[in-house]
Amino acid sequence: MQAKKGDKVNVHYHGRLNDGSTFDSSEGREPLQFTVGSAQVIKGFDDAVVNMTIGEKKTINIPVTEAYGERSEDMMIEYPITEFPADMKPEVGMELQMGDNAGNIFPVVVTQVTDNSVTLDANHPLAGKELIFDIELVSIG
């Protein structure tokens, strides 16, 4: 039996960058469950599972365009320091959450702090990076 679009699958995975560092893994956890072709996972990962059989293992390289896309300067936000709570001292590397006008919450990272402003990076942390995944198809259905 091969996985096809519309199938609910369970996979174990190990995700790493070109330098060998791990960014995510299902090791020690339940397998990741998703429906193939439903855009619940990044395109390159979704495509890789198609036609896999139960118990099959593979290693795939996912280019930036099929992962989280290129980094965008439009996702760099300069925010007045006066808009931060008085008891908060923003520091470079600090991870925060920000909301947009539609009520969506998304993570940002402080990249620069001046006397007047704080620069926030709203790019996905893996944007601009090629990803490598070891995938094992555990079950279908």
Tokens of 77: 């936000």
Q: What is the pLDDT of residue 18?
A: 94
Q: Which CATH number fits domain 8-69+126-140: 3.20.20.70, 3.40.50.1470, 3.10.50.40, 2.60.40.10?
A: 3.10.50.40
Q: Which CATH number fits domain 73-121: 3.40.50.1000, 2.40.10.330, 2.40.110.10, 3.30.70.1450?
A: 2.40.10.330
Across the range 113-119, mean pLDDT stands at: 96
* Cα→Cα distances 115→27, 34, 80, 81, 111, Å: 44, 46, 9, 7, 14
Report pLDDT digits (tens) over 16-35: 999 999 999 999 999 999 99
Tokens of 49: 């599972």
Report pLDDT digits (tens) over 53-104: 999 999 999 999 999 999 999 999 999 999 999 899 999 999 999 888 898 8
- What global pTM score does this model have? 0.80
**Which residue ranges make up each domain of the chain?**
8-69+126-140, 73-121
Q: Examine the pLDDT at 47 and tell me if it is beyond 90.
A: yes
Across the range 41-60, mean pLDDT stands at: 96
For 31, residues 6+ apart whose C-beta sits below 8 A from its C-beta are 10, 11, 12, 138, 139
Q: Examine the pLDDT at 50 and tell me if it is beyond 90.
A: yes
